[in-house]
């Protein structure tokens, strides 16, 4: 972590993740960029999603989550920052000259060769079928359906662990603690994702949050009774509801399960995620 000198009030508490892994003075590949229009949580000019709006203008980097060029080695040209995600991305160049962006694993170096295939060497960044990955290995960017592209474990510092392979399925322990069955014919990348210190970052000031497109959040207890179930009272008042906190629309806010009881994927979950109290 980088800790800044307290030259201003905002710098006093500001911290930044170690970005020494990034390539300096490099522009993103313009062939892999798409202009991104900010919707800002509005529908016909009216707020439909609260706390969203503004934010710095940014382009979207086209990420190759599938890595479907099998058995063709690719060399890492640069490791870059992506404003659209928490982990770093890497620009790779295949032997035929094609360039693609991929999610960068931890400790990936410029000039390294990585490859995707049914069975490749057990090296961080390589991608292979789950049935060929040894038990105990950490993986990321995991497919849910073969050939669909990575859907699970894609944020900074995350990884899942292969616990067992039996009956045509791999048993994986997800970052949430959930143990889930995934088809052994799905691809997964070896290792854990970069920027592991991201969760310890302190933005330092409200302005940096606004740059990210997040608008202020007002407490329900600070509102009037007509605006929120927690509102009203002379001065600071408790919530005063027998069944606990509620959303602005009167629904239960904490401890309510939102997952459908008859969801088709329930049969693939061996153990539920950890319960967080407090």
Which residues on neighbouring strands pair with residue 35, listed in sequence order?
59
Strand 142-143 and strand 150-152: pairing?
antiparallel
13 within a domain of the structure (yes/no): no
Residue 103 lies in a domain: yes
Intra-chain end-to-end CA distance of the chain, in Å: 27
pLDDT of 275 > 80? The answer is no
pLDDT of residue 254: 84
Does residue 250 belong to any structural domain of this protein? Answer: no
Number of C-beta neighbours around residue 215 at 10 A = 16
Residue 95 lies in a domain: yes
At residue 222, the pLDDT reads 92
With pLDDT > 70 as the criterion, what percentage of the chain qualifies? 99
Tell me how many domains the chain contains.
1
Largest separation between any pair of C-alpha atoms in the chain: 71
Residue 256 domain-assigned (yes or no): no
Structure tokens at 135: 């038990």
User: What CATH number did the domain enclosing 62 receive?
Assistant: 2.40.50.140
- Report the C-alpha gap between 34 and 84 in whole angstroms: 12
| Bridging pattern class, strands 59-61 and 33-35 | antiparallel
Q: What pLDDT digit, counting tens, does each position of 200-232 carry?
A: 999 999 999 999 999 999 999 999 999 999 999
Residues facing 252 on adjacent strands? 246
Q: Mean pLDDT in the chain?
A: 93
239 and 228 in contact (C-beta within 8 Å)? no
Residue 259 is predicted with a pLDDT of 87
Residues 6 or more apart in contact with residue 192 via CB below 8 angstroms: 105, 106, 138, 140, 157, 158, 159
The pLDDT value given to residue 258: 85
Strand 15-16, strand 2-3: pairing: antiparallel
| 256-277 average pLDDT score | 86
Range of the domain at 134: 18-198
Question: Is the separation of the CB atoms in 213 and 54 below 8 Å?
Answer: yes
H or E element that contains 207: helix 206-211
How much of the chain, in percent, has pLDDT values that exceed 90? 82
pLDDT 10s digits, 145-181: 999 999 999 999 999 999 999 999 999 999 999 999 9
pLDDT in tens, 42-100: 999 899 999 999 899 999 999 999 999 999 999 999 999 999 999 999 999 999 999 99
Whether 5 is covered by a domain: the verdict is no
| Token duo for residue 182 | 């995934």
Q: Is the pLDDT of residue 269 over 70?
A: yes
Within a domain: 113: yes
| Digit-coded pLDDT (tens) for 9-32 | 999 999 999 888 899 989 999 999
274 domain residue, yes or no: no
| Residues ≥6 apart with Cβ < 8 Å to 270 | 171, 179, 180, 181
């Amino acid at each position: 972590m980088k800790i800044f000198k307290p030259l201003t009030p905002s710098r006093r508490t500001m911290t930044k993740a170690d970005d020494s892994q990034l390539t300096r003075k490099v522009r993103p590949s313009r062939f892999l960029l798409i202009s991104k229009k900010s919707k800002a949580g509005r529908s016909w000019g009216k707020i439909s999603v609260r706390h969203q709006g503004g934010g710095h203008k940014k382009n979207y980097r086209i990420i190759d989550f599938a890595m479907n060029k099998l058995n063709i080695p690719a060399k890492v040209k640069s490791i870059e920052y992506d404003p659209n995600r928490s982990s770093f991305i890497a620009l790779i160049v295949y032997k035929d000259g094609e360039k693609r962006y991929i999610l960068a694993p931890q400790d990936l170096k410029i000039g390294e060769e990585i490859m995707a295939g049914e069975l490749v060497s057990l090296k961080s960044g390589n991608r292979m079928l789950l049935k060929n990955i040894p038990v105990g290995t950490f993986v990321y960017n995991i497919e849910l359906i073969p050939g669909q592209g990575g859907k699970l474990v894609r944020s900074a510092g995350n990884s899942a662990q292969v616990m067992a392979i039996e009956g045509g399925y791999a048993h994986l322990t997800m970052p949430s603690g959930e143990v889930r069955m995934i088809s052994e014919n799905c691809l997964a990348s070896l290792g854990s994702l970069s920027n592991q210190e991201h969760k310890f970052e302190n933005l330092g000031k409200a302005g940096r949050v606004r740059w990210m497109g997040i608008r202020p959040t007002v407490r329900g207890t600070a509102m009037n009774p007509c605006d929120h179930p927690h509102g009203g009272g002379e001065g600071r008042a408790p919530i005063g509801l027998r069944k606990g906190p509620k959303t602005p629309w009167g629904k239960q806010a904490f401890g309510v399960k939102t997952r459908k009881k008859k969801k088709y994927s329930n049969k693939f979950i061996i153990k539920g995620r950890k319960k967080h109290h407090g």
